Structure 1
Amino acid sequence: MRVHILDDWFDTLRGLPSFAQLDGHEVTIWTDHVTDERVLSDRLDKAEALVLFRERTPVTAGLLQNLPKLRLISQRSVYPHVDVPACTQHGVLLCSNMHSDTPSHAAAELTWGLILAAMRQIPQQMASLRAGHWQMGVGKTLRGRVLGLYGYGRIARAVAGYARAFGMEVLWWASDDGRARALADGEAVAESRAAFFAASDVVSLHVRLKPATRGIIGPADFAAMRPGAVFVNTSRAGLVQPGALLAALNAGRPGMAALDVFDAEPLVDATDPLVSHPNVVATPHIGYVTEDELDLQFADIYDQINAYAAGAPIHMINPEVWTG
């Protein structure tokens, strides 16, 4: 099959062991990011299978109508960036392994790294040292403090394990179902949403972005946080109401934020008010960007391509397209 891979910005995939799974296919890798659908249409005109690098490029009805040879889109995890009805209309099968039984350890590890970086002021202390000023302030010890985890999912539970190893208390908030599962597992659940934000020294958000969760964090939540608390988001920026975090930081509640996700990505504006905020530790959406995690994810993606080529597709999201 003629396979095109989008948005492999650092040309990483061909150097991973899993890439050998595409032997026998005609593979084209695009290492830049293109937003113009006319340019994308020209590039992908002969593509039979399209590999998506997470949510970096939306697949719209307008793009699909210009790709007459496309038969398969292969990706991993959730797909809010893909117009599934349009895929079905144009006879394009979407396959996505939802990996419901495994957490992203890479994302959990980065979350913990951001918590450490924010609480110990690691980026600011490094900048001060390099500027010849030695120490610039006093950080906070994690042991004995409260980590509030919003969302009772796989990544949050992995982060909880790290927190306990560091001697932190773990407090939970989630949907009604998530809180019920946490209680059934013997976990500590806050008495109320306001109590959760007020009691936590660190609040880390671990919720999938979908219509029901968009903007679930707002001004009242931030206002309940302590001036010395840290808000961490390695999930999706859209979970926070637009402008609410910046306003909260400027008001001093919470005192700091640690972010891996932004409303517009890739974000290359160094003057962005969150990126440049003195009380923000920020990384460029690298939660899942490790060699190990990418090899795991793309092995699943390539499996889907090979299964389709063999006439037995797997992980079909719109199976009505498949006629055998």
Structure 2
Amino acid sequence: MNNSRVIIAILDDYQKLVPELEAFSRLKQHLPGADIRIIDSMPLGAAQIHLLADVQYLVLIRERSRITAGLLDKLPSLKAIVQTGTAGAPETSHIDQAACAALGIPIIEGGGSDGHSAAEITWALILNARRRVPEYMASMARGQWHKTNPPVGIGQSVQGQTLGILGYGRIGRLLAQYGQAFGMRILVWGREQTRTAARETGVELAESREALFRRSDVLTLHMRMNETSRHSVRRSDLALMKPTALLVNTSRPGLIEPGALREALAMGRPGAAALDVHDDEPVLASNGPYDGLNVTATPHIGFVEKSSYEVLFGAAFERFLMFLEQGAQAGPQG
């Protein structure tokens, strides 16, 4: 295979972190003549799309990029899409998989990480939100001491509180361990797999889904995104929560009914939210969609750390190279 003819674009590398990875160095070693372009603009504009016109392979960073039929029409040279992580089910994917299939564009999935980075950012958000760390850091940067603008009151310890986990899979189990280490009671609910895991690990299973929302002081969402879970957290669920409760979502914004969280926070149930995922990313407005409400937010950084990036890109690049090798062995198609 003539590597000089391989043209690759890595989209939405906002911080230009990918070129610093060992996985990226290995890719360049295997494809020494390849043209690899790093696109850090967000979102893609006309100028960036023009740069992609001759690109043969797109590399996507998780769900940052929406690949629509309209975009695919503007990429006549595209041969495959390389997905770090997984593309997801067709009905919930950020990629128009039907359009890809119609054009004969395969999607090469790299696979997921071990969940530790997502669990860590979830726990960091919980502690920061409960102790009001961002507000006090901002006030200190302004030269104030123990004052915030607007006033937020005193922080609250998680010790002795109930940590509710909706969806007790790999990440949920890690959160349970963190919570137990901090002296929290663990309460879980989910499908049959969750109920079985609760019995196996000795954590408390809620009497019902409604009880999970009512009893939790901190409730964190860790469900897979599919047609069943989409918008499954409803206004009526949030209305059951305590006015002192914190809702945490580092999984998918689409798990919550559109507009429900903002309305619930405005009504005071729950009293606060901590979010790493957002309906419209990137969030570029300075005030964001929750202006004036008690929300601690980060810009979808749950997977943005070096070890997670190495795993995600290492797996994706490895399968991409296998794809190229298989194509080279097959030779040109008549």
Q: Which of residues 255, 261, 264 in structure 2 aligns to 1:248? A: 264
Cα distance in 1 for partners of 2:40, 2:49 equals 16
Q: Which of residues 104, 110, 122 in structure 2 aligns to 1:111? A: 122
| Paired AA for residue 134 in structure 1 | W
Q: Percent identity?
A: 40
CA contact (8 A) 1:34 1:40 kept: no
Cα distance in 2 for partners of 1:175, 1:39 equals 46
* Higher RCO (CA 8 Å, separation ≥ 6 residues): 1
Q: Which residue of 2 aligns with 1:215?
A: 231
**Cα deviation, residue 44, structure 1:** 1.7
Cα distance in 2 for partners of 1:199, 1:226 equals 8
| Paired AA for residue 107 in structure 2 | L
Cα distance in 1 for partners of 2:320, 2:289 equals 41
CA contact (8 A) 2:23 2:314 kept: yes
Task: Render the CA deviation track for 1:87-138: whole Å, top value 9, x for unaligned.
Answer: 1221111111333xx5321111000000001111111222333445432532
44 and 185 in structure 1: CA distance in 2 versus 1, 3 angstrom threshold? same
SS at structure 2 position matched to 1:227: coil
Structure 1: tracts of 5 or more residues without a match:
314-322
Q: How does 1:83-102 map to 2 (within 5 A)?
A: 83-99=96-112, 102=113
SS at structure 2 position matched to 1:293: helix
Q: Which residue of 2 aligns with 1:4?
A: 9
Task: Render the CA deviation track for 1:139-177: whole Å, top value 9, x for unaligned.
Answer: 222222110011122111111111111111111111344
Q: Which residue of 2 aligns with 1:167?
A: 183
Q: Which of residues 108, 118, 131 in structure 2 aligns to 1:120? A: 131
Cα distance in 2 for partners of 1:97, 1:153 equals 20
Cα distance in 2 for partners of 1:278, 1:249 equals 7
Task: Render the CA deviation track for 1:181-212: whole Å, top value 9, x for unaligned.
Answer: 43344432101111111111100011222232
Q: Which of residues 57, 65, 75 in structure 2 aligns to 1:67? A: 75
**Cα deviation, residue 63, structure 1:** 2.1
Q: Which of residues 50, 53, 57 in structure 1 aligns to 2:61? A: 53
Q: Which residue of 1 aligns with 2:150?
A: none
CA contact (8 A) 2:189 2:209 kept: yes
CA contact (8 A) 1:65 1:90 kept: no
Q: How does 1:128-167 map to 2 (within 5 A)?
A: 128-136=139-147, 137-167=153-183
Over the aligned positions, Cα root-mean-square deviation in angstroms equals 2.0
1:201 aligns with 2:217: yes
Q: Which moved more, 1:69-78 or 1:173-182?
A: 173-182
**What is the TM-score of this pair, normalised by structure 2?**
0.86
1:27 aligns with 2:36: yes
**Cα deviation, residue 278, structure 1:** 4.3
CA contact (8 A) 1:3 1:28 kept: yes
**Cα deviation, residue 243, structure 1:** 1.6
CA contact (8 A) 1:152 1:172 kept: yes
Task: Render the CA deviation track for 1:201-234: whole Å, top value 9, x for unaligned.
Answer: 1000112222322211112111111111101011
| Paired AA for residue 266 in structure 2 | N
Cα distance in 2 for partners of 1:88, 1:21 equals 30
Structure 2: tracts of 5 or more residues without a match:
1-5, 88-92, 148-152
Q: Which residue of 1 aligns with 2:311?
A: 296
| Paired AA for residue 119 in structure 1 | R
SS at structure 1 position matched to 2:58: strand
**Cα deviation, residue 273, structure 1:** 4.0
| Paired AA for residue 78 in structure 1 | T
| Paired AA for residue 84 in structure 2 | R
CA contact (8 A) 1:111 1:232 kept: yes
